[in-house]
Structures are given as structure tokens and as C-alpha cells.
Amino acid sequence: MAKQIPDITNDELEDILCSIFDTYGYDFSAYARASMHRRVVKYMEDINCSTARDLKYQIINSTEVFNYFLQRITVNVTEMFRDPDFYKAMKEQVLPMLASYPIIKIWHAGCSTGEEVFSMCILLHEANLLERTRIYATDINPLNLEKAKHAIIPLDVMKEYTINYFKMGGTNDFANYYTAKYDNAIISLDLRKNILFSQHNLVTDEVFNEFQLICCRNVMIYFNHQLQNRVIKLFHESLSSFGYLALGVKESLLFSEMRPKFEVINRNQKIFRRSI
Amino acid sequence: MRVQPKMIVIGGSAGSVPVILEIMKAIPDKFPHTVVIVIHRQRNVSSEMATVLSIANERKPIVEPDDKEPIKTGCIYLAPQNYHLLIEDDHTFSLDYSEAIKYSRPSIDVSFESVARVFGENACAILLSGANSDGTEGLHSIIENKGTAIVQDPTSAAYPAMPMAAIAANKSSLVFKPIEIAKFVADLQQ
Amino acid sequence: MKNNIRTRLYVGFTVAIVLVLGVGIISLITFRKQHNDAAMIKQAYEVLNHLETCQKALIDMETGRRGFRSTNDQRFLEPYFNGLQSIRPILQELQLSVKDSQVQSSYFYQLQASIDDILSFWVSLGSNASGYTKERIAEIMVLEKQKMDSIRSIVDKMTALQNALLNNKIKQNRRSVTNSIVGLAVGIALILLIVIVLIYLILVEFRNRRKAENELQKSNKSQTSLNQETANKNWVLAGLAKVNDSLHNAYNSGELTQSLLNTIVRYLNVQAGAVYLYDPNDKRLSVSATYAIPSDFKRSFLLHEGLVGEAASKKEPTIITGLTREQIVFETATVNAAPAVACYMPLYIDDELKAVIELLSFEQFDEQRVELLKVTANNISVAINSVESNQKVIQLLSQVQEQKEILENQQEELRQTNEELSLQAEVLQASEEELRVQEEELRQINAELEEKNQAIESARAAVTMKAKELEATSKYKSEFLANMSHELRTPLNSVLILAKLLADNADNNLTEKQKAHARIIYKSGSDLLDLINDILDLSKIEAGKVEVNIEEVTVSNICRDLQQLFAVVADEKDIHFIAEVDGAVPKAIKTDKQKVEQVLKNLLSNAFKFTKKDGTVSLMISNYSPHEISFSVTDTGIGIPASKQKVIFEAFQQADMSTSRRFGGTGLGLSITKELVRLLKGKVELTSEEGKGSSFKIIIPIAALALTEEKVNVIEERRVEEIWLDEFDEQNIIADDRGAINKGDRVMLIIEDDIFFAKLVKAFAQERGYKAIVATNGKEGLMCAKKFLPSVITLDMNLPGIDGWTLLQAFKNDRDLKHIPVHIISAAEDEKINTIGALAYLQKPVEKEDLEKAFTLIGEYLHSSVKRVMVFSINAGVDGLKPLFDKKVFDIQFEQVVNLAEAISKLKSSKFDCLIADIGTSIEQGIKELQQLNEELKPGKIPTIIYLDKDISFDSELEIKKISSVVVRKSETSQNRLIEELELFLYKVQQERKQSKISYISHPGNDGSLEDKTVLVVDDDMRNVFALSAALEQEKMKVITASDGKDALEVLKQNTQVEIVLMDLMMPEMDGYEAMQRIRNELMLGKLPIIALTAKAMAGDREKCLEAGASDYITKPVNTAKLVSLMRVWLS
């Protein structure tokens, strides 16, 4: 273990995040520290940067370095029909209720490269709701949004998604939802036509519409408690009465002060509904 | 003298479940330390691991923590499927859904490193059977931060690769058989 | 040996020389000593001599003096004076010669003193002797004689001593001489001896030398012959070296053999030669190199063919002499002679033939040459072999090289595939591992399940067995009881009859006491018989032996029969007995009349039993539900304590063990009742208060047509009820109205743990006509709420058990409870609670006035709680909402209207809380009519829910949303949603939903600069559109709206009067950025002010807006005052 592992103190990290805010306007100060620290150290390891000062210097002085940093520091892992039980619950408990809205607006906050948005589209399509649904898919990272707009997914992971789809209780031919070309699959345009991809930063940005469903899965785990509260408040304000909020299966409203303003629809799959 | 509460973090993969059960059985009722268990588990599959482990020690229910759940001393936690489990400075859990490390999520390395960072010398990492090299770097962090590093004796492991890799890279780790690990954990009470 | 001798000689000579030296030194020392001794002797003689001279001189002087004295003649004094002169030098000489001897020297000084004494004596006498008398002369004579004697004695002593010394010396001298002589003699003898030995040794050495010389001469001879041999060998070796040299630097066998042959021919000095290589494949020897061989000769031989072939088969060189011209010819330009000798050298490695060397010569082949050939043979064959293999190796190498390149290419491909594979393998490994863990988990679960299964299985088996046992026992018991009853009844019958006879005392022969005894026997016997009958009944029912006979039964008949039956008892006990049938009850019901009567008889007889004189027993028959009829038997008897109420239906149980003693009875009546009612598919309810009476209500189906085997278990149902109540401790500190609640009562649930305060609130409530129920902890509060469904709840926040906070959540999340207004009276923090749907909040401590206010509020709220909802079905034919009205929705009055005119008139004439507009599929018409409706109702607007049954476009959403924010589309769940939305409208504390948080405060200094200006608001967020429109309309602006960028472009094309645009950025179809660019570029509206609205707050976003063509920028949520000022700037 002779490898020199770079380390960075809390103060140094704070300082770097501060400088990033000053220079680029991205505010990471309220991100959960444990994960942020890990990712920054990992990044330093990969670019062979051993001190915090070097890192700061590089980031502040090059937009390209910063863009790469942003790409690495934000988590862009996603998959289609992740947590099949969640989609099952969506299908059984939420979509029937959404059907009573003439126009359905859904916000996917932190959509990353869009896989979960496409999953939702498939669900809506199968419930015959897609035509009257408008999905606003937002992410902090413009690169992710570019990818999401192209909707190109490698074929080998598509196999895994197919398995997830069936686990979720899908009964159609999953292959109908995409066109395979070479090693990639493109999600069919019909499914995607009502999606609007746009940049939105949950840390700083505000309410922009009223929604019947907000999906924000595994995004807030990267935020600290205060920021989580802010975001949930933002969601609350963005939800219509009886609007649904879906979080990651391990994200709880229990620790949020907004807890009383939601009722629980599915405790295990973390689906809530605005009650007040 | 009051016992300084320790954070015991157990990492295991293939072949580790029986050992963890043995450790669970050894944990006494009044246990002033926290236990976090990280096992490589399948994702997108419903798992009853928490229940299974609870059976071994019915007085100590095992919790899969939610994000930002405060750590309670004396509780036993199980890293949820498909998330890395980290610890914040304010002693709450933080989950992380980033890339799998060494093909694993939860990754033992990630949790070990995080525990080492927050708990320092009060961290005690136990690495069990498995067929990969996860945990090696994490154990290194534990040792660097003056924590206690324990590795299951490879001869007693159903899959010795993981403990062997860890021992090779971390000479100062203690090598125990399952029964000794159980005893060590039980003795932490005094 | 030589060395040895030399050493001996050296030693010998050295010893001899040393000895000679020793002898010399000894002699020298001896001579020196003798010389010294001689000197000493001479000195000794000198001393003696001097002494003598001295003495003589003194004697002469004495004589002289004596003569003088006697004669006084001066001439006699002459010897004296001579002596006087000579004595001093003599003494000096003497002193010198005795200086070596201390003794002598001391004697000398005595002598000198004595001489000086006599001399001075003589001098004192003077040189005149004339005056001397004879005495005088005699006196002098004596004195003189004395002095002379002392001198003489000293001299004698000295002489004697000197003589002794002399003798001693002489003796010594003689001894040392003797010693010297002996030493010399010994020395000489030794020297002689050594010389003799040396001579001998030298002689011996001489002899040896001579012998060695002879040997040397011999060996010199052999050395010479050896040298010759070495030269030969050297020749061979040099040859070998040359041959070896020739073998180097050759890379193919032709080159090699040629160079070899050249070397050999030259070195061996032969005339011609050739080398044949053997090819093991075709077993031939073929020429590979030639030297001076003509070209036309046979170039290849088989083994044993010709000389070459023959020679090859042997392993030794073959030499053939005397060859003739015919046999072989070789030519030169000058020589053409027959050779004399041919030599063939076959070359082998181990047993493998490699080649043959052929050499031809005119001279004889001497051994040396053959030897050389033999010696080099091996090297040559090895060289040939190695060159051959080398050639092979090179050939192979080139092939290998080629293949290697091919392989390398393949390898690269393989490596890539491998990498992919190993990556996949690792992924697989990881997932395999996860699978293993899963497997372990499953195994564990299985083990657990197995264990549980076994436990369940064994428990099930045990239960089955128990059930069987029970069944059997029960059957035995019932049979036994049935039989026993019979067996008992028979003798009992006789006992009874006989007792009766005795009691009647027909013969009148019994005393009164005896008659009384007989009556007691009869009475006890009758009781016993009753008991037996009851047991028999019960066991029959339990054993399933009782059949139910359903028939048409006239209710009034039952009533009449029972009235007649019990009228007597009533009269007897002075009890009022009322039996009534409710008018609504059907005339006839289908049931088992006998069983019903049995049950009612049981209950009535109990009632009469436990009711005292002047009490009342009533039988009321009434409808319980459309399908059920109830028979209530009520008494004013002793009542049943609550704790006993659940057990009295058990066999052999009564309210009190003492009861049977006081009132008689078997205690089986109620058990039988319960079982019979169960048979009739009915149930028994009991309400009772101790001391006041009990009421049993039998509820049975009106038409017990389908009586099946299904068991309706009264006890079971009761238990559920009991558990429900048992789950919390009902408070019994404060008496409340929970037992006295009638339908239509306004019930207030007071949840409060402060007993004093609770009583206060209760009194307040009761004063104001509420029925009050007090719960003192959270759990009780929740249970009471569910049980009594109160009209209003007052709630304390700090409660034991479930706290008020949680409780409120629970109420609001419960479909049945969510609409109940909750008034909080607590000491807890205000702010938090106001937001969560409570009706109002009262902070403790509370004054009386506060409480009155609170009650007034509650009263008002409840008074207005009956909500009127108008359902306006625009498409009259479709009545999709019909089921909604059938549903029991609390306190809502629905009124349906089917046309606009009716709706308007009704809305104008009376107050409605909400309008549900069912526009079905006729969206256009619906919107139009609703717009008209709103126009008519202006400025008041009624909360509206639009219900439709058709998809609408994104564009028409705006139109619809202008009328109502709640639009429900028909779907499976739309009914639920409609009710929820309705409830939200009607019951929840209406917090005015902040429309996108727009804060419209005031418009300071309204200078009218915005008046009549046209603004286009482009946003897809309806709330925002409405809020902005409202705010801008207040500024008297004309507002046009568009829902996305495309729409906005269209609007702008058609409405050239638009003076300013508010543009949202995040919109579907065409976002704000693109819309702005197009407005600038395509519509050429470069100067039209466009203010961008965005939810984004990051630094870069502003620039992006301005780049896209925005004139300015304002962030959401929009501060209207700020917006208005901004618009003024851009419009001025």
C-alpha cells in the first residue's frame, strides 16, 4: 500500500466549494459531506493531484477542468426501472389517481441521463396516460441532459433493464420501446415526445410549475439536512393539492420538518402525497 | 470506567452470512457500541437479510437505515441494497448511489473508509469471507486512523480471497477465527 | 639432504671457530692476569724495599746523632743530615706504593707520624751537643730508643703484612696459571674433535654428489626423447587448432567443408582431397568439397560403394597404399602421376555418420597425420553437425518469425478479447458472489421456515388431535348427558309424583311440618328437573341434535302468546309488563317460532326473576335494519355489572354466584339463549347498568331462508367489540355522556389530560347543549373519536401516550375523521400547529372569555357545516355523478341543476358552497357556459370543480384553468378524487394557497404608465399565469396569455399591439430562449421589451437570458412590485 492517497480536510473542502460558488455559481456547500469528500478525493486520485491547493488552482483557472470536476462530483448513475417494486407501486397506486387529471404534469428532479424518465414514460404509456402527460426532467448537469435528449443506451445494459421491466410486472414486449442499432438502443421517440429536458439546480433554483407528481429519486441523499428541507419545501410548493412525491426507497421524510404536510401512500417505496 | 462507545463495522461477501450470524448471537443485550454490517447483496431483488440476521439475536432488531438517519448507540444496522453506506460527521448515515466500487454496491471499502474518517480510533472493522478484494483499502484507512482491524482467518473462510488480500496488504490486522471474532465483539462490553 | 649437510657443516665450522675464539680469549685473560700479578709482586717488593731503605736511613741518622752526642763532633752529624734529606722522598715513594692497601696506608701514617716525631725530637736537640751531660745523654738515649723502637715495630708490621700479601699473590698466580693451562688443553682437544667430524661430513657429501650427477645425466637423456614427442604432439595440436580455425566462420556445410579440406590438405601436405557429406535421408555420401580433383568423377556413393562408401562404414581411418593410375587419377598441369596413398577418414557423431574425408598423397601417411585426422575427426563432425543444425535452425527461425508475427496479431486480438472477458468475468464474479450471499440468506430463511413449519405442523397436529378428542369428548358428554338426563328423569318423576302426593296429603295424616317438607322435596325435585332439562337442551344443541324448523311466524302472535304467558307472573310479582310490536315490523317473519319463543321465554323469565315489585319488564319488537328484526327484553332489575357482562353467556355463569341462591335458576338459560340465537343466525346484545336494569336485544333475520351450516357466533362478535374496548383504559374519573348519546346529538370530544380543565370544558360544552365525552390520553382520544364520531374535537397537544401532534395527523389521515373540526387548546407553540389543518388554536392559560369565544367559533363552524353543493350537469343526458350522491358524504346537500338558467337563478337566490360542473364530453360548450355563469355572478365567484370525460389539449388547459383550478377527468378513481377535492374545499381550514408565492403588496406611486398597455404573459405554469394576470389587471393592463413559445409567436403575429412580453424560460414545445431568439430574428421585433421569468438563480443564467434576446430578467417567485417597476422602466 505504498500508494500515496491524497487527503483533504473539511476546511480545505469548504474553501474549494466556496471558490467554485464564487467562480461558477454552483453551490455545493450544502451537499452531504461524507459522499462529497469521498468523490473529491477520488477525483484527486484520478487526476494525480495531491494537495487541495493544486486542486483549487486547477478548478478555478480552467472551465474545462471544472466541467470535468462537475461531471465527476455529481453522481450520474441511474438505470431503468431501478427498484422494480417502486414502479409496481407507481403503477398500482399512483397512476390510477393521476388518471383523474385532464393534464398530468410530472417533474423528474435530478433525472441524470434520463433512464428513470423513460421508465416512467413506458409506465404512462401502458396506462394510456402518456398522451396527456408532460414531463419536466431537470438536472444540475447540462452534459447529462444532452445525453438524456439523445436517449441512447448501450444494448448490454438494456438486457438488465428488460429483466427489471418484467420484475416490475411489465407484460409487453420491452423491445418495442426501443430501436437497436449496432451496440446501442434508442428509446423510441413516441415515448419521449412529451419530455422537456431542462437545467435546474435544486440548491438555488425555484418553483417553476405545478405538478401532480414529482419524482426525485436518490438525489437528496447527496444533500445535507438543511438542503433536504429546502428541497422538500420546494417540492411541496410545486405540488398541486393531492400531488404525489416519490423519493428513493431509502429516502425518508421522517427526518424532515415537512413530514406533517405529506401523507404516506407507500411506506416501503417512499411514495407520499401532499395532504395540506 | 465507562466504555468508550465504538463503531463496529463488519464487511462480508460470499460465505460471510453464517459468520455474521455467529457474531450476532454473541452480542449481549446491553451493548454500548454500534454495529454496521455491509454485505455484498444483489440489487433489484427483494431481500430479507435484515430479518434473517434479526433471527440470530431477537433482542436486537436489525435496521436498514434510511438516508440521514441518526446513528443510535447500541443498534445494529445493515447497509441497504444498492447503496453505499457512509457516515457523516454529525453521526448520521448518508447513502450514496454512485458507481459500484470493485463491482460492489454497497462497497465495504467505502463504508470502512467513512467509518475510519469519522470514528478514528473508536472504529473497529471486521472483514469476513469473500471472493474479491473489497475491504482491503478500507482496512488500510482504519489502521491509518488508529482503529482496530480484524480479518477472518482465511483458513476458516468459505471464500478466503477477500481476507487473504486484506491480510497481505495490512500486516498489522488481527487475524481471528469466527469464534474468536464473536468473543472479541462480546468482550468489547467490558 | 644437501641442506642438511650444509647446515651441519655450517654448524661444525661455527662451533670450531667459537671454540678457537674461546681458547684465545681465555689465554689472553690469563696472560693479562699474570702480567698484573707480576706488577703487584713488583710493587710489593718495592714497598719492602722502601721500608728497608727508610729504616736504614733512620738507623743511619740515629747512629749519626748518637755519634755526635757522644763526641759533639759535627762530622758525626753528617749521616744525620744525609738521612734528613733522603727520608722525605722515601716516605713519599712508600706512600705511593701502599696507597692500594688500606691497612698498609694506615700503618704508613703511623710510620710517618713516628718518623716526624723522631725527626722533630732530633731537631729539638739542636746541633750543639756540648752542653750535654751524661744524664742528659742517657735520657736522650732512652727517648731516642723508644721512638726508634716504635718505628721499628711499625716497619716490621708493615714488612710482615707486605710479605703475607706477597705470598698470597704468588699462590693465586700459580693457581690461575694452572687453570689456564687446563682450559687451553680442553679447548684444543674440542677443536680437534670438530675438525675431524667436519672432514668426515664433507667426505660423505662428496660421495652423494657424485651419485646424483650420474642420475642427472641419465634423466637428461630421457628429456631429449620427451621433447621430440612434445614436438610431434605440438604439431598435431597446431594442426588441430588450424582445423578448428577453419571450422569457424562457416555458415553452411559447403563453405565449411571447403575451408576444412583446404586446411587439411595444406597442413598434411597431401596432393588432393575431397569431403563427402552423408545424407541420412537418402543414405548417400555426396561430394561437398574438393581439392585438386578433376571434375569428371563420381560425385555420390552409397554406403559400401567404392572406396569412399566402404571407408565410411568403418569408424577408423582407412589407408590404402599402392594405388595405381587406373584406380584413381588426379591431374595437375605438370604432374600426372599415379598416387601412392589414399586415406579415408569417416566422421561420426556417436554412431551417426556425418561425412568422409578423402586424402590422396604421393607419400606415405605417417602416424602423425593419421593421428591428426583422428584427433580432429570429432571436432569436424561436431562442426558439420552444428552447421547443419544451424542451417535448420535458421530455416525454422524464419518460419517461426513469420508465425510469430501472425501470432502477435492474433495475440493482440486475443488480449483485447481477454480484457473484455476478464472484465465480464469480474462482473460475473461479483454478481455470482452476490448470488451466493443471496443464497446464504435464502438458506437461512429456509432453515427458519423449516423450523417454523415444523412447529406449525406439530401444533396443527396437536390441535387436530385435540379437536378430535374434543369432538369425541363433546359427543360423549352430550350423549352421556342425554342418557343421564333420561336416567335421572325416570326416578325423579316418581320422586316428584310421590312428593306431590305427600304434599297434597290426601289422607290428611301428615302434620303441617311434614307437608312443608314434602313441598320442599317437590320444589327441589322440580328445580332439579328444570336443571336436567336445561342441560339436556344445551347438550342437544351443542351436539348438533337440534334442528331448526323455519316457518312463517306472525310476529303479533309471538307477542300475544308471551304476554298471556307472563301476565300471571307479572300479576303475581306486581310488575308492570309491557309487550309491544312496532308498527313498521313486518307482519310475518320466517324463522323457527319455537326457538324464538324459547329464547324470549328465557329472557323474560330472567327479567321477571331479577325485577322487584313495582318494576317494569318490557318486550319490544321492532325493526333493526331492513333485513333484521329485534326483540328487546328490558327490565328494571338488579342489572349486570360491566365486568360480568361478557361472561354471563357462558354456561354455568351468572352475574354473581349468590344470584342463583337469591333468585334460583340453573344459570344455563342465557347459554341456551345464546346457542339458540346462533342457530337462528341472529345475535344477542346486552346493555345493562348495575342496579338500574338490563336490556337484552335479540336480533334475527326477518327471512331466515338460507340457513346454512355457517355459524354465526355471537360470542365471537362480542369479543371483537370487547377487544376494541379493552385496548385502552377508559377513563372513569370524569362522568361524561358517552352512555347517553342519541342520534342527532352534537357530540364534543374533549381530549385533555388536565382533569380539572377537562371538567371545566365538559361543563361548558354541556351548558351549550353538546354531549361531552372526555378522553384523558391520546389513545383513548383516538378510540373515542372513531367510536363516537364526534361533531367537534378539542385537543390538548401535550398528552400522555400518543401526543396531540400525532393525533391530529391521525385524524387528518383518517377518511372518517378528517372532516371533524379540531380546536386546539394547548400550552404548546402556536406557529407550527396553525399550518396543519386545525380549526383554531387557543393558547393556555385560558380565560373564561377565551373559552366562550372558542365555543362561539365552533358553534358557527358547526352551524355552517351543512354544505350545499350544486351539481350542474351541462350535458343533461349523462349522469356520471349519480353514484356520488348515493355515497354517504357527511353533511353535504347536493342539488342538481341541468341548465344554465336554472343554475344562475339558484346561485343568485341562495348560498352554495361549491359548484361541481359536469361538462362531460362537451368541453367547448361547458367552458362557454361556465364563463357565462361567472360573468353573471360577478364579482362573487363560486369555487368550482370541473368534471369532464374527454381529453383536453395542453392549450385548452389554460382556458379551463381560468375557470377552475380543480379539473377532474373521469377515470376509475375520479369519484374518490372528486370527494377529496370537495372535502378540501369544504372542510379543510382554507389556507389561501399562495399562488406561486406572488406577493402583491401595493403599487406605490401608480402613475398610470402601465394603464391600457398590452402585455403578453408566456408561461406554462397556470398558477403563475393567473397570479401575474391578476396583478397586471390591477394595474389596468390588457393581458394576453400564451402557454409556450410557439403559442407566443402565434399570438405576437396576430396581436401587433403587444407592448411588452413576460417570458418564462422553461416551457415545453418551444422554450423561452428559442422563443425570444425567434421574436428578435424572425418576427423582427428587435425593440419589443421582453422580460424573462426564470426559476433559475445561478449567475450564468442571467447572461444566457440576455444573450437569447431578453431585455431584462426577473427571478421566480415573482415579486410583483418589483415586476411592475421593471415594466415601467421598459415601457417609459
Cβ–Cβ contact C992 with A under 8 A:
no
Q: Which of 3.40.50.620, 3.40.50.2300, 3.30.930.10, 2.60.40.3140 is the CATH number of C728-863? A: 3.40.50.2300
CB A32 to CB B94 under 8 A?
Answer: yes
Q: Which three cell numbers stand for residue C165?
A: 700479601
Residues A15 and A134 in one domain: no
Residue B152: pLDDT band by 50, 70, 90 thresholds?
very high
Report the pLDDT value the prediction gives residue C889, as an integer from 0 to 100: 52
* Spatial separation of the C-alpha atoms in residues C1091 and B93, rounded to whole Å: 44
Cross-chain CB nearest to B55 (options C426, C432, C448): C448
Cβ atoms of residues C1003 and C1124 within 8 Å? yes
* Spatial separation of the C-alpha atoms in residues C469 and C848, rounded to whole Å: 68
Residue A116: pLDDT band by 50, 70, 90 thresholds?
very high
| Residue/partner pairs of C141-146 with CB below 8 Å, 24 or more apart | C141/C66, C144/C62, C144/C65, C144/C66, C144/C118
Residues A27 and A49 in one domain: yes
- Mean pLDDT of all residues belonging to chain B: 88
Q: Residue C229, Cβ neighbours under 10 Å: how many?
A: 9
Q: Which of A25, A44, A73 is the last residue of a domain?
A: A73
Query: What confidence tens digit (pLDDT) does each residue in B66-105 have?
Result: 998 899 888 899 999 889 999 999 999 999 988 888 888 8
Cβ atoms of residues C780 and C727 within 8 Å? no
Cβ–Cβ contact B99 with A under 8 A:
yes
Cβ atoms of residues C640 and C609 within 8 Å? no
Residues A162 and A135 in one domain: yes
In three state form, how does the secondary structure of chain A look? CCCCCCCCCHHHHHHHHHHHHHHHCCCCCCECHHHHHHHHHHHHHHCCCCCHHHHHHHHHHCHHHHHHHHHHHCCCCCCCCCCHHHHHHHHHHHHHHHCCCCCEEEEEECCCCCHHHHHHHHHHHHCCCHHHEEEEEEECCHHHHHHHHHCEEEHHHHHHHHHHHHHCCCCCCHHHHEEEECCEEEECHHHHCCEEEEECCCCCCCCCCCEEEEEECCCHHHECHHHHHHHHHHHHHHEEEEEEEEECCCCCCCCCCCHHHEEEEECCCCEEEECC
* Spatial separation of the C-alpha atoms in residues C880 and C893, rounded to whole Å: 17
Cross-chain CB nearest to A210 (options C809, C1023, C1098): C1023
Contacts of C448 in chain B (CB under 8 A): 52, 55
Cβ atoms of residues C387 and C250 within 8 Å? yes
Cβ atoms of residues C82 and C183 within 8 Å? no
Report the pLDDT value the prediction gives residue B110, as an integer from 0 to 100: 93
CB B97 to CB A220 under 8 A?
Answer: no
Tell me, yes or no, whether A3 lies in a domain: no
Residues A21 and A104 in one domain: no
CATH node for C252-365: 3.30.450.40
Residues A136 and A261 in one domain: yes
Cβ atoms of residues A237 and A266 within 8 Å? no
Provide the residue count of chain A. 276
Residue span of the structural domain in which A17 resides:
10-73
Q: In the CATH hierarchy, which fold is given to the domain comprising C2-206? A: Four Helix Bundle (Hemerythrin (Met), subunit A) (1.20.120)
Domain count, chain A: 2
C-alpha of C907 from chain center:
72
Q: Which residues of chain C have pLDDT under 70?
A: 1-3, 127-131, 295-296, 323-339, 478, 481-482, 485-486, 506, 543-545, 646, 650-667, 704-732, 801, 815, 828-837, 845, 863-866, 875-891, 939-940, 987-1008, 1099
Residue A187: pLDDT band by 50, 70, 90 thresholds?
very high
CB C973 to CB A100 under 8 A?
Answer: yes
Residues A61 and A115 in one domain: no
Tell me, yes or no, whether A78 lies in a domain: no
Residue A138: pLDDT band by 50, 70, 90 thresholds?
very high
Tell me, yes or no, whether A64 lies in a domain: yes
CATH node for C867-991: 3.40.50.2300
Tell me, yes or no, whether A5 lies in a domain: no
Tell me, yes or no, whether A177 lies in a domain: yes
Q: In the CATH hierarchy, which fold is given to the domain comprising C547-725? A: Heat Shock Protein 90 (3.30.565)
CB B15 to CB C445 under 8 A?
Answer: no
For A194, list phi and psi in degrees, rounded to 5.
-100, 20
Residues of chain A with pLDDT > 70, as a percent, come to 98
pTM check: above 0.90 = no
Tell me, yes or no, whether A118 lies in a domain: yes
Residues A128 and A207 in one domain: yes
Contacts of B102 in chain C (CB under 8 A): 430
CB A251 to CB B114 under 8 A?
Answer: no
Q: What's the CATH code of the domain at A219?
A: 3.40.50.150
DSSP C275: E
Report the pLDDT value the prediction gives residue C722, as an integer from 0 to 100: 35
Query: What confidence tens digit (pLDDT) does each residue in A191-242 have?
Result: 998 899 988 888 888 888 889 999 999 999 999 888 999 999 999 989 988 8
CB C429 to CB B41 under 8 A?
Answer: no
* Spatial separation of the C-alpha atoms in residues C1032 and C996, rounded to whole Å: 15
> Partners for B (CB, 8 Å, 3+ pairs)?
A, C
Amino acid in position A225: H
Q: Which letter, b or e, does each residue of C958-990 get, where b requires 16 or more Cβ atoms within 10 Å of its Cβ? A: bbbbbbbbbbbbbbebbbbbbebbbbbbbbbee
Q: Of A239, A240, A220, whose CA–CA distance to A230 is shortest?
A: A220
Cβ–Cβ contact C813 with A under 8 A:
yes
Strands B148-152 and B123-127: parallel
CB C433 to CB B14 under 8 A?
Answer: yes
Residue B35 host element (H or E):
strand B34-39
* Spatial separation of the C-alpha atoms in residues C540 and C546, rounded to whole Å: 6
- In this predicted structure, the answer to whether residue A118 has a pLDDT above a threshold of 80 is yes
* Spatial separation of the C-alpha atoms in residues A187 and A119, rounded to whole Å: 10
Amino acid in position C901: A
User: N- to C-terminal Cα distance for chain C?
Assistant: 144
Cβ–Cβ contact B64 with A under 8 A:
yes
Q: Which of 1.10.1050.10, 3.30.465.10, 3.40.50.2300, 1.10.357.10 is the CATH number of C996-1131? A: 3.40.50.2300
Residues A237 and A270 in one domain: yes
Query: What confidence tens digit (pLDDT) does each residue in C1061-1113 have?
Result: 999 888 888 888 889 999 888 888 888 899 998 887 776 777 888 888 888 88
Report the pLDDT value the prediction gives residue C712, as an integer from 0 to 100: 35
Residues 6 or more apart in contact with residue B100 via CB below 8 angstroms: B107, C430
Report the pLDDT value the prediction gives residue C706, as an integer from 0 to 100: 41
Active site residues of B: 13, 40, 134
Q: Which of C422, C433, C438, C449 to mutate to test the interface with B (most CBs of B within 10 A)?
A: C433
CB C969 to CB A275 under 8 A?
Answer: no
Contacts of C433 in chain B (CB under 8 A): 13-14, 40, 130-132, 159
* Spatial separation of the C-alpha atoms in residues A230 and C1099, rounded to whole Å: 20
- In this predicted structure, the answer to whether residue A245 has a pLDDT above a threshold of 90 is yes
Residues 6 or more apart in contact with residue C300 via CB below 8 angstroms: C276, C284, C285, C286, C287
The answer to whether the bond into C1117 is cis (omega within 30° of 0) is yes
Q: Return the minimum-mean-pLDDT range out of B112-116, B181-185, C307-311, C1095-1099.
A: C1095-1099
C-alpha of C568 from chain center:
90
* Spatial separation of the C-alpha atoms in residues C610 and C669, rounded to whole Å: 13
Same CATH topology for C728-863 and C867-991: the answer is: yes
Tell me, yes or no, whether A126 lies in a domain: yes
Tell me, yes or no, whether A1 lies in a domain: no
CB A276 to CB C837 under 8 A?
Answer: yes
Identify the residue whose cell numbers are 372513569.
C732
Report the pLDDT value the prediction gives residue B153, as an integer from 0 to 100: 93
User: N- to C-terminal Cα distance for chain B?
Assistant: 9
Q: Which three cell numbers stand for residue C324?
A: 595405381
Q: Of A9, A11, A6, A1, whose CA–CA distance to A46 is shortest?
A: A6
Residues A88 and A52 in one domain: no
Q: How far A126 CA sits from the closest chain B CA (Å)?
A: 22
Domain residues of chain C, as ranges? 2-206, 252-365, 547-725, 728-863, 867-991, 996-1131
Cβ–Cβ contact B119 with A under 8 A:
no
* Spatial separation of the C-alpha atoms in residues C958 and C952, rounded to whole Å: 10
* Spatial separation of the C-alpha atoms in residues A177 and A187, rounded to whole Å: 6
Contacts of C1067 in chain A (CB under 8 A): 196
Residues A17 and A53 in one domain: yes
Domains of chain B: 7-187 (3.40.50.180)
- The stretches of C938-1044 forming alpha helices (DSSP H) are 954-963, 974-986, 1022-1034
Residues A48 and A98 in one domain: no
**Which chain C residue is nearest to residue A156, measuring alpha carbons?**
C424
Contacts of B52 in chain C (CB under 8 A): 441, 444-445, 448
Q: How many CA atoms lie within 13 A of C459 on its CB side?
A: 6
Cβ atoms of residues B40 and C430 within 8 Å? yes
> Partners for C (CB, 8 Å, 3+ pairs)?
A, B
Residues A131 and A208 in one domain: yes
Cβ atoms of residues A237 and C997 within 8 Å? yes
**Which chain B residue is nearest to residue C446, measuring alpha carbons?**
B52
